[in-house]
Chain A
C-alpha cells in the first residue's frame, strides 16, 4: 500500500538540499572540471564570415515582366540561401576554391591521398586529392540566411588567417561566377528582346492596316448616309404618311378622270401622252418632290427653303399641264372636247410617279436609319477593339524597344562589376577571438545547468526510491508502533569507513586533484612541443 501523497513542502525540500549539500556540489564541480579539460583539449576554431546580398539589379520592364521573369527571381530568403549553398557546395566550385587555396598541392593532403589510393585502387591519386580537399573545405563552410535578401557565408579554420582567406576566396569566386552568369542572362534577354521587337512590329502593322480599312469603310458609309436621324425619324415617318395620302388623292383623281374619258371614248384606253420635254419636266418634278422632303427633314435652316421648293413644284406641275395640253391638241385621235381631260390625266399620272419616287426615297432613308441604329454598337466595339489592338501593339513595341536598349546597356554594365546580382555587404574580417570553444557557453552551462540537474536528480531519487521515508509508512509496513526515532549521532565515528561516509566530498577532492594533474601534465607537454603553425597554404591568385 503506498503512502498518502503529501503536499509540496518547500521547507522539507530545502532541508533535503542542505542535507545532500556535498552530493549537490559534486556534479557541478565535476562538470566544471570536465569543462576545463574539454576547453583545454578541444582545438580552437576561428570563424570568419562574409555577408552578401542577392538581388537582380538588371530589372525587367513591367510590360514584359511576365514574359521574361522566372521563378528564380521570386525566391524566398531560404531558397536564396539554398541556391548559394548548393552553388558553394558544388564540386566545381569547391575544386576552384581548393585550387586557389593551393590545397591540391598541400603535402598533408597529397600524403593522405597516397595512403587512400592503396585502399581505393580504382581511383586515381589526383581524384583522391580533389575529394579529400573538397571534403575538408565543405566541412569548413556554413551558409545561413539573414533577413531580406542577405546571406551569410561563414568559414571555420584553426587559424584566423585561414578562416579569412577561405571566406575571401569563396566570395571572389562567387562574384566571378555571378558576373559571368549575369552577363549570359543579359545577353539572352537582349536577343529575346530583338526577336520580340520584330514580331511585334509585324503585329502592329497588321493592326494598323485593319484599323485603317475599317475606318475607310465607315467613312464611305458616312458619305452615303441617310439624312434621317434620331431627331427627325418621326417627322420622316409622318412625311411618308402624308405622301401616301397625297398619292391616294391623286389616284382617286386619276380614276375620276379615267371615267370621264370613257364617256368620250367608251372602251378605249386614254392615250399615253409624252415627249422629251415632258419627260424632263417629270424628272424635275420628282427631284423637286424629293428636295422638298429633304428640306422638310433638314431642320430650321432647310425649312426656310420649303416655300420656294413648293412654288417650284407648282410651277413644274403647271408647265407639265401646259405641255400635255399642247400634246393633246396636236393629237388627232383625241376628240376636241376630251383634250383637257387627257392632259389632266397625264399630268396626274406624272404627279403620281413623282410622289411615289418621293415616298420610296423617304422609305429608303428611314430603312437605312433603322439598320444603322441596329448596327451601331457592333461598329463602335469593333472600332474600339481595332484601336486598342493598335495601342497595345504600339505600347508593347515601345517597351520592347526600350528593353532592347536596356539590355544593351545592361550588357555593357554586366561586363563591368556594376550590375552584379550578388553584392558583398560585409567583407570578411580577420577574426581576433576564437569562435569555439566558447568559455562562456561551456562554463556557464556547467555552472547553471548542472546544479539544477543535480538538484533534480537528488529530489527525484529521494522521491521515487521505495524506502521508508516517514514514521507512518514505517508503522504501516512493520505492522507495529514506532517507539522512537533515533537521529544521527553527532561526532560519533560509525562503523562505516571514512570513504563510505564521505564519498561525495572525497569524490570532489579526487575530481579536483585529477583535473589539476591533467592541467599540469598538459601544460608540461605543450611547453615541450615545438610551436606548430596552423596557417593554411598561401592562396594562389
Chain B
C-alpha cells in the first residue's frame, strides 16, 4: 500500500506530555488504582460506560500509556469494543490482526498483541469482523486469552463497548478483575447512569470505581487546571515520538518482544 500523501492522523503518543494536567490526573487515577489493586491482586480492568462517546477509549489509552511510560509496568491494552473499535486509530496501529482473529484462531495472542513506541506497552486491536459482532465474540476464547496474558503483564486494560446498549461488556465482566465505569461530566444523563448501575449490579464486587471524563468542561472551575495557571507556565514537554521514517501504526523496529514470548 503506497504511503498516504495526506497529513498523518495524530495519535495519543503525540498528545502525551507528562506535564499536562490530563496526564497528571491519569497518574493520580492510576495511583489510586494501583493502591487499590495492591490488596486485591487486581490487574485486569474492564473499561465501560453507560453510553457511547463518553471517553472510554481515550481514558483506556491514557491509562495504558501512563502505566507503561511513567510507572514502567508491562501493560497490555485490549480493544474489546468490537462494534466501534478505536484503539488502533488512537495509537496509530492497524486494526488487524486483533482480538477477533484470536477468537477465530487466525492468529496467536502474541501476534495480535503488538508492541508500540512505548517499550512496555502492547496493544491488541479489535481485529476485523466480517459477520455479526455478536457471533464473532467468543466468551471462552476471551477467557482463555485473558488467562494466557495475565502472567505476562503487570496491568491489562480492556476497552469495551458501553454497557447499556450492548451485552458483551457484561459477559467480559465475568472474566476481569475489576470494572472501571466512565462517564462524561456535563453530558451523560443521570437516567443513563442509573440504568448502567442496575446492569452492573450483579458485578458490584468487581467495580473498582468511576472515572469522570471531561472534567474541565463539565465540572466546576476548580477541576480545571488552567484555573490554577498551570497551563501557561508549564515545563518543557517530554514527548514520546516515533523514530523518523517509521510509518504510523507500525511497531518500532527495536521494540522488545512481549513478556513470556519465546
Distance in angstroms from B194 CB to nearest chain A CB is: 6
A486 interface residue (CB < 8 Å to B): yes
Question: Chain A CB within 10 Å — which of B188, B216, B225 has the most?
Answer: B216
Distance in angstroms from A522 CB to nearest chain B CB is: 40
B207 interface residue (CB < 8 Å to A): yes
Chain B residues with CB under 8 Å of A524's CB are: none
Q: Are B189 and A482 in contact (CB under 8 A)?
A: no
With A484-B32, A485-B25, A486-B211 in contact, do A11 and B221 touch (Cβ < 8 Å)? Answer: yes
Interface members, chain A 444-503 (any B CB < 8 Å)? 462, 466-471, 473-475, 477-496
- Taken residue by residue from 125 to 141, chain B's Cβ proximity to chain A (1 for < 8 Å, 0 otherwise) reads as 00000000000000000
B59 interface residue (CB < 8 Å to A): yes
Complex: how many Å from CA A185 to CA B207? 99
Chain A residues with CB under 8 Å of B197's CB are: 477-479
Q: Are B21 and A487 in contact (CB under 8 A)?
A: yes
Q: Are A489 and B15 in contact (CB under 8 A)?
A: yes
Chain A residues with CB under 8 Å of B216's CB are: 487-488
Q: Are A12 and B221 in contact (CB under 8 A)?
A: yes
Complex: how many Å from CA A375 to CA B9? 131
Q: Are B223 and A485 in contact (CB under 8 A)?
A: yes
Distance in angstroms from A279 CB to nearest chain B CB is: 145
Q: Are A487 and B58 in contact (CB under 8 A)?
A: no
With A470-B219, A486-B62, A489-B15 in contact, do A478 and B25 touch (Cβ < 8 Å)? Answer: no
A9 interface residue (CB < 8 Å to B): yes
Complex: how many Å from CA A462 to CA B185? 12
Extra contacts besides A19-B217, A467-B185, A486-B213 (14): CB < 8 Å: A467-B189, A468-B183, A469-B219, A471-B212, A480-B181, A483-B36, A483-B208, A483-B211, A485-B223, A486-B22, A486-B59, A486-B212, A492-B12, A493-B9
Q: Are A468 and B22 in contact (CB under 8 A)?
A: no
Distance in angstroms from B228 CB to nearest chain A CB is: 12
A15 interface residue (CB < 8 Å to B): yes
Binding site for B on A (CB under 8 A): 9, 11-12, 15-16, 19, 462, 466-471, 473-475, 477-496
Chain A residues with CB under 8 Å of B14's CB are: 492
5 smallest A-B Cβ distances: which pairs? A484-B29, A15-B221, A485-B215, A483-B209, A487-B216
Complex: how many Å from CA A230 to CA B61? 136
Chain B residues with CB under 8 Å of A493's CB are: 9-10
With A487-B224, A488-B214 in contact, do A481 and B190 touch (Cβ < 8 Å)? Answer: no
Distance in angstroms from B77 CB to nearest chain A CB is: 16
Q: Are A467 and B218 in contact (CB under 8 A)?
A: yes
Chain A residues with CB under 8 Å of B208's CB are: 480, 483
Chain A residues with CB under 8 Å of B186's CB are: 462, 467-469
Interface members, chain B 203-262 (any A CB < 8 Å)? 204, 207-221, 223-225, 227, 231
With A471-B219, A480-B210, A483-B29 in contact, do A489 and B58 touch (Cβ < 8 Å)? Answer: yes
Q: Are A468 and B188 in contact (CB under 8 A)?
A: yes
B89 interface residue (CB < 8 Å to A): yes
Distance in angstroms from B241 CB to nearest chain A CB is: 15
Q: Are A482 and B21 in contact (CB under 8 A)?
A: no
- Taken residue by residue from 187 to 204, chain B's Cβ proximity to chain A (1 for < 8 Å, 0 otherwise) reads as 111110110110000001
Pairs across A and B, CB under 8 Å, 12 listed: A11-B221, A467-B186, A468-B186, A469-B219, A478-B181, A478-B193, A478-B197, A480-B208, A485-B212, A487-B225, A490-B20, A492-B15
**Which residue of A has the minimal Cβ distance to B193?**
A477
Q: Are B220 and A466 in contact (CB under 8 A)?
A: no
Q: Are A482 and B220 in contact (CB under 8 A)?
A: no
**Which residue of B has the minimal Cβ distance to A482?**
B210
**Which residue of A has the minimal Cβ distance to B12?**
A492
Distance in angstroms from B199 CB to nearest chain A CB is: 12
**Which residue of A has the minimal Cβ distance to B50?**
A478
Question: Chain B CB within 10 Å — which of A19, A478, A494, A495 has the most?
Answer: A478
Complex: how many Å from CA A478 to CA B180? 11
B26 interface residue (CB < 8 Å to A): yes
Distance in angstroms from B162 CB to nearest chain A CB is: 14
Complex: how many Å from CA A516 to CA B223? 41
Chain B residues with CB under 8 Å of A492's CB are: 10, 12, 14-15
Q: Are B223 and A487 in contact (CB under 8 A)?
A: yes
Q: Are B215 and A487 in contact (CB under 8 A)?
A: yes
Distance in angstroms from B69 CB to nearest chain A CB is: 15
Complex: how many Å from CA A489 to CA B211? 15
**Which residue of B has the minimal Cβ distance to A15?**
B221
Distance in angstroms from A36 CB to nearest chain B CB is: 33
Chain A residues with CB under 8 Å of B25's CB are: 484-487
**Which residue of A has the minimal Cβ distance to B90?**
A495
Complex: how many Å from CA A478 to CA B183? 9
With A11-B221, A467-B187, A474-B212 in contact, do A483 and B22 touch (Cβ < 8 Å)? Answer: no
Complex: how many Å from CA A468 to CA B183? 8
Distance in angstroms from B201 CB to nearest chain A CB is: 8
Chain B residues with CB under 8 Å of A483's CB are: 29, 32-33, 36, 180, 208-211
B55 interface residue (CB < 8 Å to A): yes
Q: Are A486 and B26 in contact (CB under 8 A)?
A: yes
B123 interface residue (CB < 8 Å to A): no
Q: Are A484 and B194 in contact (CB under 8 A)?
A: no
Q: Are A469 and B58 in contact (CB under 8 A)?
A: no
Interface members, chain B 57-73 (any A CB < 8 Å)? 57-59, 62
Name the one of B15, B29, B57, B190 contacting A491, with C-beta atoms under 8 angstroms: B15
Chain A residues with CB under 8 Å of B181's CB are: 478, 480
Chain A residues with CB under 8 Å of B10's CB are: 492-493
**Which residue of A has the minimal Cβ distance to B220?**
A12
With A471-B212, A481-B209 in contact, do A9 and B190 touch (Cβ < 8 Å)? Answer: no
Name the one of B15, B22, B211 contacting A482, with C-beta atoms under 8 angstroms: B211
**Which residue of A has the minimal Cβ distance to B22?**
A489
